[in-house]
A and B are shown apart, each in its own frame.
Chain A
Amino acid sequence: MHFELTDDRRMLADTLNRFLTDTYGIEHRNKVAYEAPFHDPAKWAELAELGPLFALVPEEQGGFGGAGFDIATVFEPLGRALCPEPVLPALMAARLLAAAGEDLEPLLSGATRYAVALGETDAPYALEDIATEAAPAGEGWELTGRKSVVYGGNAAGKFLVAARAGDVIGVYEVDAEDAAVTGYGMIDGGGAAEVFLEKTKARQVLADAGAALQDALDFGALALCAEAVGAMDVTYDMTLDYLKTRKQFGRAIGSFQALQHRMVEMKTEIEQARSITILAASRMGTEEQSRTVSMAKNLIGRAAKLVAEEAIQMHGGIAMTWEYPASHYAKRLVMIDHQLGDTDHHLEKVMAGLQVA
């Protein structure tokens, strides 16, 4: 047993960390993350050139990774930098296109940005609840429905949309220009969109996509867990640093035991979060993939909220300001729980697994 990354993965992590530290500092990040198009298209191209997208898929599909630990390796640095580039939608789209045996080159090279449109107003997390309909039309298909809060949808060229034809949920590709797309920014930076489909022209990618969609969701959730671990580490360091330097009552506030114990609790939860993410990464591609990812996403939801709230509280007023980076980390950490299933959604999934003998 060991917990070291392979040399290849370590190199990729180093490259990404260096690129993001050097060119995607928090000031730049805050400038691009909160203004349309809510990311930096030039940096997206540079990032894609470094190859992290290729790390998201296995060799058979033209990549050089695709395992759970590859995903974690890519997303942890993105989390450390609070990077708003739409890498998560690319990962999920890649899983779906790969499942359909399609050409991934335009996606992996960064040339085409995809968004994956699953959630709806009344079906934010659970696939089985979605109502968007697919109907055959001539050679192709037409989709009708509304997809809500589609991450990266504001800057996507193509959408992969989950829609039902009768009882069967499939995946359909829609060109952004064929749909009515309203993009907007997010409270924690980055962009999303409402996608209105009204007999919108579509191409069927997967007729019966239940398993492929669950797989894409699992990989997406794992990525969010790794992102959160990266962001939590930075938030923890920032808070610890502040406790050492901020003085009140003539001493560093870090000298107060009331705060010391809470730092230790924070650290404990972060280590637990790291562990469950490692566990989930190790189980990708096994039968326990989904349930373990749900465990991870549940724990991450709880830990990230604790870290965010405690970091603000222990900083005092300063972390309530836009100017101070911890506020942006806190927002991202809390809002990760609103993506791809929250703590309760995943708790229910883990609970359901209890009943399987």
Chain B
Amino acid sequence: MDLNFTPEETAFRDEVRAFLKDELPSEVADKVRAGRELTKADMERWHAILNARGWLAATWPKEHGGAGWNAVQRHIFEEECCLASAPRIVPFGLFMLGPVLIKFGSPEQQKAVLPRILDGSDWWCQGYSEPGAGSDLASLKTRAVRDGDHYVINGQKTWTTLGQHANKIFCLVRTSTEGKPQQGISFILVDLDTPGIEMRPIKLIEGGHEVNEVFFTDVRVPAENLVGEENQGWTIAKYLLTHERTNIAGVGFSVQAFEQLKSLAQQVRRGGKRLIDNPLFAARLAQIEIDLEAMKITNLRMLAEAQKNGAPGPESSILKIKGTVIRQALNDLSRRALGPAAAPFPSEDLEGNLAVAPADHARDAARYFNNRKISIFGGSNEIQKNILTKAMLEL
């Protein structure tokens, strides 16, 4: 048992740190720290910087332009990025579609799509969920009917994250109604410029625009855009789910949020005293620290296991559940720490002299409400518990 990084891993971490110090634009990091909305340009800029270094596609093999990192390196990179308040890499092209094409795509598809993800020519979004198909994804209804060398798509996708920036969408569509619902699903790539597609914004609880609805009416898509075989989409989706699962615990986010919270509790004063000197508050903070310290090790243990077995097992659901619970608890405590100052609707007007909350914290309540999503999407925590029940309990 040795909990320390190897010398190589430590060297890698230092390299990542130095890179972030030199290359991460401070005005972008400032926005991330304060929870302000990033523009499309901010995200593209960061992608380009990472791509220039060859670090954008952490999970792809080198021959496709990826970093070729192992799980521990990816973990180190993700954690360092969080600590430096780097923007999250937009995952849809890089961590979802990329690995799918590398595994299931034709050489032509790989050649046509992968480089354009890396250089930012294309922005992909994920078209899985539908109004009637959330947790029960296999019940999806959006139809794709073969017509000569095209598929004709009709239906609706929803919750499409950052679809407003995207020019492409990868979709799960129904190509057959025979047999079990899982057996009639296909995975297809769609150009959002195709006639018959309409995207509408969905405003979220805290007022932000990050998700959309996408409507498909007689949308003609070339048949060669199908990935893998017809009706093989569920296998692909399941493969992708395991890939979605590497940074699933979000430990980096939590570590960063904890540091910010500790510093906030030192700034906030109640009467003559710092909030961190209030025993009730300090107890809450310490409680989260304990959970987080354990989570770091749970995460590393499962990482090591995944490294050994080639893929994360069902235990990764533990990471998803506990990881999101801890993140949400941190968001909750930051909001509380602010007292009434958490309550104003975030706006540019309330800055400088008029600032009600300490710098970087005007959006803590908004962040708390927005992050209720993390226990809902990517397989809700209830669904994760169902997975664990099946896989572990043998009842």
Contact = CB atoms under 8 A, between A and B. Distances in A.
Given A122-B269, A186-B345, A248-B135, A320 B373 contact: yes
Given A125-B270, A192-B344, A348 B280 contact: yes
Interface string B123-142: 00000010010111001000
Contacts of A149: 340-341, 343-344, 356
Majority DSSP secondary structure for residues of B touching A = mixed
Contact of B339 (A125, A182, A192, A322): A125
Contact of A320 (B129, B281, B338, B376): B376
A239 to B, nearest CB: 14
Given A119-B340, A320-B372, A327 B205 contact: yes
Interface string A287-328: 000000000000000000100010011001101111100010
Contacts of A204: none
A50 interface: no
B153 interface: no
B380 interface: yes
Range of interface residues on chain B? Answer: 35 or more
Contacts of A184: 344-345, 347, 349-350
Given A124-B341, A148-B356, A249-B135, A330 B278 contact: no
A343 to B, nearest CB: 8
B65 to A, nearest CB: 34
Given A128-B271, A258-B385, A348-B280, A317 B356 contact: no
A194 B340 CA distance: 12
A142 interface: no
Given A337-B336, A344-B280, A320 B204 contact: yes
B377 A317 contact: yes
Contact of A185 (B278, B344, B377, B385): B344
Contacts of A320: 204-205, 372-373, 376
B202 interface: yes
A48 interface: no
Contacts of A258: 382, 385-386
Contacts of B368: 334
Given A124-B339, A192-B344, A187 B376 contact: no
A124 B369 CA distance: 22
A313 B332 CA distance: 15
A126 B134 contact: no
B375 A344 contact: no
A186 B344 contact: yes
Interface in B297-333: 332
Given A149-B356, A342-B336, A344-B281, A124 B202 contact: no
A297 B319 CA distance: 34
Contacts of A335: 342-343, 365
Interface of A: 34, 119, 121-126, 128-129, 148-149, 182, 184-188, 192, 194, 247-250, 256, 258-259, 305, 309, 312-313, 316-317, 319-323, 327, 330-331, 334-335, 337-339, 342, 344, 347-348
Given A126-B271, A330-B369, 11 more contacts: A34-B207, A148-B341, A184-B349, A184-B350, A185-B345, A187-B365, A192-B343, A312-B376, A321-B205, A331-B205, A339-B343
7 contacts: A122-B270, A124-B341, A321-B202, A335-B343, A335-B365, A344-B281, A347-B280
